[in-house]
A and B are shown apart, each in its own frame.
Chain A
Amino acid sequence: MTTLFLNARLIDPEAGSDAPGSLLVQHGHILARSDQSDKAAFLAAHNLNTADVQIVDCGGKCLAPGIVDIGVKVCEPGERHKESYKSAGLAAAAGGVTTIVTRPDTTPCIDSPETLEFVTRRAQADAPVNVLPMAALTKGREGREMTEIGFLLDAGAVAFTDCDHVVTSTKVFSRALTYAKSCGALVIAHPQEPGLSAGAAATSGKFAALRGLPSVSPMAERMGLDRDIALLEMTGAKYHADQITTARALPALERAKANGIDITAGTSIHHLTLNELDVADYRTFFKVKPPLRSEEDRLAVVEAVRTGLIDVISSMHTPQDEESKRLPFEEAAAGAVALETLLPAAMRLYHAELLDLPTLFRAMSLNPATRLGLASGRLSAGAPADLVVFDPDAPLVLDRFKLQSKSKNTPFDTQQMQGRVLATYVAGEPVYRKEA
């Protein structure tokens, strides 16, 4: 089975290029790319006839490596009414996300090989995209005893994280890091000083003061990161900070990287495209964790993505049902669905001329894949043909009830956006096509 993606605008995050070309895919992998428009010559060079090849004319639209999204919450087991592997898989496909890396903060949480196997089985049965599960770092995400990191790795866990629970005991965390290092496991943590952030629903500042919301200083993130960096110096573990969202945390991250610590960092699409003022009159769909930051922080984080200091952009997809959000702001659950809005929201940064397309796909596809040791996330020969075709300019008004996710808690509801996924391919096979 051979497919030729013709007449595309190739977004290559490895080369940092954005140029016309075509891509040849065979047996689920990328065979070759060409910047020539002569398809016959391209095929002949690979001993292929036009008749044997399926042609996909991209019509000049963008073709990029599919998104690898670290930190997606699928609510199985426990809360399937919020999101199942089927609905999350369809949402991912519709959003150009070809690999979802799932969070273990389910009910019960994924902290044993048995629960991990359940997740893997459900994902294989129902999801049209690649699903890679993460496992908890400590049992019950309680921060007391480490999980069976070795067994879980064997069962397919790609990383270990307690999600938004910070392992407060430095002793427990340092041991878990030490043990994880011996297994070669990646640890993902939420940098935050929980003593400072407990009970907070907003970021300290003018807005939180006026609205009377309990708030946390942005400094809590840097304090958490500083502690983790010290422990990494001690243990040498492989570490990824799930979300860096404040300017104050960036110098610490930069120093740690310069000192050769094995650290990468992510941020969420919401912290790149929204700020604290979007909460306006206590709109709970804008309640995320950590809370939305100031505009200065947002711009600093965008700049850090541009320079590569922040490696990864995630959707931090967190489905919540209507009941969890129809509450006073302080009581409402945090989180937003974002698998389908990740790409159009990222296009806001492109249209604002803050980030170009190769930079965006470096952070959404290449870097997360590389950090997890995956061959995907790139357009080079031999890579899996996980691809997204999209039109960065196509306008839409987002209607949350048209989302594939079972939960509809998106902050972008009714907003004008630009950027539509036209088709998504996993291992060369179409898993989504936009209806004409």
Chain B
Amino acid sequence: MQPPSFDQSHLLGIEPLRPHEITAILDLAEDYVALNRQTEKHSEALAGLTQINMFFENSTRTQASFELAGKRLGADVMNMAMQASSIKKGETLIDTAMTLNAMHPDLLVVRHPHSGAVDLLAQKVNCAVLNAGDGRHEHPTQALLDALTIRRAKGRLHRLNIAICGDVTHSRVARSNLILLGKMENRIRLIGPPTLVPQQFAEFGAEIYDDMREGLKDVDVVMMLRLQKERMDGGFIPSEREYFYRYGLDAEKLALAKPDAIVMHPGPMNRGVEIDGTIADDIKRSVIQEQVEMGVAVRMAAMDLLARNLRSIRQAEAS
């Protein structure tokens, strides 16, 4: 079979991807969903390759997901908690990248608290770089796993009404999703208090609502975002209880969406702040656990495709 067309050497964001490349990742991810559901979940797609996870910012879920994805594909996986390491000793990001590069990794998974930091790092190394979240900029694998979840639940990834709700300003997940779902021809609504929703996103074709009840009317997908208290430098909302009252997803507000609307959340959730616990746990509406499952599969697919390109580039260079 002809391998799916995917021409990227890094996965730095959704922005550089073309729609057929997004589809290529999702299609391959379906295969890995099937693999992951077997008892024997092993492939040799990344055999012999070294994957380093560099997390300059705390992460449990994403790091575990990438680690598992790499191991299931047979890569040698190493985790580096960068907060505890040489950064503290004053080493710059680029020096750290050069040092790691000298150890010949093949896949570098990077999370960093500053927007654009992963792009910068990718310029300095000669391996495939995957962005696991940079500041408020992008989190491409999250958007891809969300897309796969939507496609499986709704049977398509186009012409859907999708609401992205809550703290958009501080969310790289929202940016990547906005770009991805826009590229796939969906209607996107951004819902949240105006202090947390950049109004400029209207210029990208998103509809902006500050009334959640109005915004949720007849949507197919409700994507909740975490209130990122750690990124706030003061005073975006008056209190969590007022936020929950006006923008938290509860049964009453969800009733305004389509009856078969699904509820998503990238996690970790603040129950009782942006989402009512009973909705999060409602297996008829919530696909939050499925998102986690899709996360491993999508990351396997992305790393597999990047590794294929990496191998063919290196082969071409060698010959």
Cβ contacts A375-386/B at 8 Å (1 or 0 each) = 000000000000
In whole Å, how far is A317's beta carbon from the nearest beta carbon of chain B? 25
Q: Does A405 contact B (CB under 8 A)?
A: no
* Chain B interface extent, by class: 20 to 34
Cβ contacts B117-153/A at 8 Å (1 or 0 each) = 1011000000000000011111000000000000000
> Which of A144-152, A199-207, A264-272 participates in binding chain B?
A199-207
Q: Does B198 contact A (CB under 8 A)?
A: yes
Contact residues in A for B175 (Cβ distance below 8 Å): 210, 212
Contact residues in B for A213 (Cβ distance below 8 Å): 115-116, 136
Residue pairs across A and B with CB atoms within 8 Å: the count is: 59
Contact status of A328 and B200, CB under 8 A, knowing A211-B137, A212-B172: no
For the residues of A in contact with B, the DSSP-based class is loop
Q: Determine if A328 and B115 form an interchain contact, defined as CB atoms under 8 angstroms apart.
A: yes
Contact residues in B for A211 (Cβ distance below 8 Å): 115-116, 137
Q: Does B93 contact A (CB under 8 A)?
A: yes
Q: Determine if B233 and A282 form an interchain contact, defined as CB atoms under 8 angstroms apart.
A: no
Partner of A331, one of B114, B119, B198, B233: B114
CB nearest neighbor in A for B117: A328
Q: Does B59 contact A (CB under 8 A)?
A: no
Q: Does A160 contact B (CB under 8 A)?
A: no
In whole Å, how far is B309's beta carbon from the nearest beta carbon of chain A? 20
Contact residues in B for A208 (Cβ distance below 8 Å): 200
Partner of B114, one of A205, A206, A328: A328
Q: Determine if A326 and B204 form an interchain contact, defined as CB atoms under 8 angstroms apart.
A: no
Within 8 A of B (CB), among A53-75: none
Q: Determine if B137 and A328 form an interchain contact, defined as CB atoms under 8 angstroms apart.
A: no
Within 8 A of A (CB), among B194-216: 198, 200-201, 203-204
Q: Determine if B203 and A282 form an interchain contact, defined as CB atoms under 8 angstroms apart.
A: no
Q: Determine if B135 and A330 form an interchain contact, defined as CB atoms under 8 angstroms apart.
A: yes
Question: CA A206 – CA B201 in complex, angstroms?
Answer: 7
Contact status of A329 and B198, CB under 8 A, knowing A210-B204, A212-B175: no
Within 8 A of B (CB), among A283-338: 323, 326-331
Q: Determine if B136 and A199 form an interchain contact, defined as CB atoms under 8 angstroms apart.
A: no
Contact residues in A for B15 (Cβ distance below 8 Å): 210
Q: Determine if A328 and B120 form an interchain contact, defined as CB atoms under 8 angstroms apart.
A: yes
CB nearest neighbor in B for A198: B233
Q: Does A397 contact B (CB under 8 A)?
A: no
Contact residues in A for B269 (Cβ distance below 8 Å): none
Q: Determine if A206 and B137 form an interchain contact, defined as CB atoms under 8 angstroms apart.
A: no
Question: CA A210 – CA B200 in complex, angstroms?
Answer: 9
Q: Does A281 contact B (CB under 8 A)?
A: yes
Contact residues in B for A330 (Cβ distance below 8 Å): 114-116, 135
Q: Does A209 contact B (CB under 8 A)?
A: yes
Contact residues in A for B136 (Cβ distance below 8 Å): 212-214
18 A/B residue pairs, CB under 8 Å, sorted by A: A206-B200, A206-B204, A209-B200, A210-B15, A211-B115, A211-B137, A212-B115, A213-B136, A281-B116, A281-B119, A282-B116, A327-B92, A327-B120, A328-B93, A328-B116, A330-B114, A330-B135, A331-B114
Residues of B within 8 A of A (CB): 15, 92-94, 112, 114-117, 119-120, 134-138, 172, 175, 198, 200-201, 203-204, 233
